[in-house]
Chains A and B, each alone.
Chain A
Amino acid sequence: MNSLETTFNRLRAQGRAALMPFITMGFPRRESAFELVPALVDGGADIIELGVPFSDPLADGATVQAASQQALQNGMTLARCLDQAAELRSCGVRAPFVLMGYYNPIFQMGEHTFAQRAAEAGIQGVIVPDLPPEEGDTLQATLRAHGLDLIFLLAPTSDETRVKLVARRASGFIYLVSLTGVTGARDQLPPDLEKFVARVRRATSLPLAVGFGIARPEHAAHVARVADGVIVGSALLKVIETASNPVAAARQFVAELRAGIEAARAARPDEFPRG
């Protein structure tokens, strides 16, 4: 499997940002990932974010909440998410997987068992939205021992001290939360996004992926001009939820986002200033 680093390096050489769609595992049906993930790759996704449903997703807006609730009703669990990821690998899906899930289910499985099973399932990185670096020492070390990255987040409210702290601790990439708020499609990108990305860029040479509120191809294009990765979750879940043929609609939507990112390639500076 390609590591996150190799993937970002390859794309950087191509002068293009990574497209990173997010789906909630077990939504809309328990086995949906087996159709959706190949469709996302087909549509042009570079890295797939696999969302583990949680009963109390406090960093998520209405769309991910509803999808999570549906997935839990469908019987989805953290163990099943890992099994499905492993099965996707055995079906030949090669794009890197980043698992995104709240801490309690990981804690219940046990950090060591989780890291081992995630590594066996062919997962490259893990995002835990309610685990800031201060609480994430042991999970990061355990994941690292299995060759996985614990992905840290930075938000517009993070001051320089925190930016430096995360830059020092991070590996794989840094997830930039575009706005002060929860996940969910928005009509417009926040106006201070470029400044925020530039602020973090000065502190690290790690790839920077931007998520929260990115809903349209023109948003993706805009973000792709300043960052190394474009994360789209709620907007994709909405497409999946409302389309009569969710798999085809998801492929189509991802292809449109990818076209937006391709269009941004020409406008991208050759080299970002490195900190």
Chain B
Amino acid sequence: MTPKVLPSNGPRYGPFGGAYVPETLVPAVRELEAAYEEARRDPEFRRELDRLLRTYAGRPTPLTPAHRLTAALGGARIYLKREDLAHTGAHKINNALGQALLAKRMGKRRIVAETGAGQHGVATATVCALLGLECVIYMGTVDMERQKLNVFRMRLLGAEVRGVEAGSRTLKDAINEAIRDWVTNVRTTHYLLGSALGPHPYPRMVRDFQRVIGDEVRAQILEAEGRLPDVLIACVGGGSNAIGLFFPFIQDENVALVGVEAGGEGIESGRHAARFADPQRGRLGVLHGTQTYVLQDADGQIALTHSISAGLDYAAVGPEHAWLREIGRAQYTYATDEEALRALRRLSELEGIIPALESAHAVAEAMKRAPTMEAHRLIVVNISGRGDKDMPTVARALGTHVEEL
């Protein structure tokens, strides 16, 4: 059978993607592209990365059958991909290890990165400690406030955390600042971008480093069930955990791919980060080097976003997701703050797993979908990270008070 969808390796995913960067950075993204291409073909690089993923990051992560959640919902059987059990508590370590090894290979000893929820910042600080690289993390001051624990972790790991006061003081402003640092120090510095976003080759490279999630799921579900799942569900901020899960299944047309955006306080409220769900403000645009769906006003100014989860609180979506949606290969929906909180509680009580608020958006979609499906159907939900970092936020939302660091 001829597959309908041929995967793209960039720079374009259909009409999406590209490399909209200032001239100063053009040579840097070209150099990165060449270095990545060379590393990718080098068995020694692959071996070193695999070794670290196994012996340091704790891969493979388990695929856990969610028996009690399945029973409570009635309907399709649910499996959980446990990225929360990877070192540092989220899938971000997969990409951080890959890019840090690449930076070292390129002779760049200084790393800059942005972070929203702090998980990518912690993963980056961690691999920099491991590989002896200098590390500067940019983080919006609003995010620093809601993710104090992760700020402390990054500093403990030896990273310098620089607060960003500009704009909305969240993830997009942290990316602006990281890019400005990169423009200034481009000869010595690698920008370790944390999601499947930004100028080519980042969306492709980050996807390749995250596809280990989907590759493992494929082997694990075949071993457990002897067949592929019917539905894969993942949350989508920039979309790195989702593309990592989806990518190895793109040509399996019977596997439905479902991305879940942050519905915030509801689409009508305007306070959300659902690029695909808001037809008025979510339009094709260019942000941070890539052409994709962007939440914006009529003048093309980037909109302020809202989500209870800092990791989904971003105005643009990775270009490959925009393409998978355009060609109908993946579908995208959203979960509100409230639905995510409910899902977080449900999974905690029924399975003993406290997911990150980001991942709870995916769980919420599984809770909607499973009861509508037959009992022999299989759903795999990516638990992209663990919820420890979110306890102060969750406690506040539930009306209790947790003493913060």
Contacts and interface: CB of A to CB of B under 8 A. Distances in A.
A55 B167 contact: yes
A108 B283 contact: yes
- Is chain B's binding surface mostly helix, strand, loop or mixed? mixed
A180 interface: yes
Interface in A147-198: 152-159, 162, 166, 177, 180-182
Interface hub of A154, A157, A181 (most chain B Cβ within 10 A): A157
Contacts of A153: 22-23
Contacts of B173: 56
Given A130-B20, A135-B20, A104 B27 contact: no
B19 interface: yes
A109 interface: yes
Nearest to A62: B166
Interface string B54-80: 000000000000000000000000000
A103 interface: yes
Nearest to A156: B24
Interface in B282-335: 283-289, 294, 296, 298-302
Interface stretch (A72-80, A92-100, A241-249): A72-80
A156 B25 CA distance: 10
Nearest to A108: B300
B27 A78 contact: no
B147 to A, nearest CB: 22
A contact residues, range: 35 or more
B179 A58 contact: yes
Contacts of A134: 19, 26
Contact of B20 (A69, A72, A103, A109): A103
B174 to A, nearest CB: 11
B267 interface: no
Contacts of B353: none
Nearest to B294: A104
Interface in B224-264: none
A108 B299 contact: yes
Interface of B: 18-28, 166-167, 172-173, 175-176, 179-180, 183-187, 283-289, 294, 296, 298-302
Interface of A: 54-59, 61, 65, 69, 72, 77-79, 103-109, 129-132, 134-135, 152-159, 162, 166, 177, 180-182
Given A104-B286, A166-B23, 17 more contacts: A55-B302, A57-B176, A59-B180, A78-B300, A79-B299, A103-B286, A105-B299, A130-B289, A132-B26, A152-B23, A153-B22, A154-B23, A157-B23, A157-B28, A162-B27, A177-B24, A180-B24
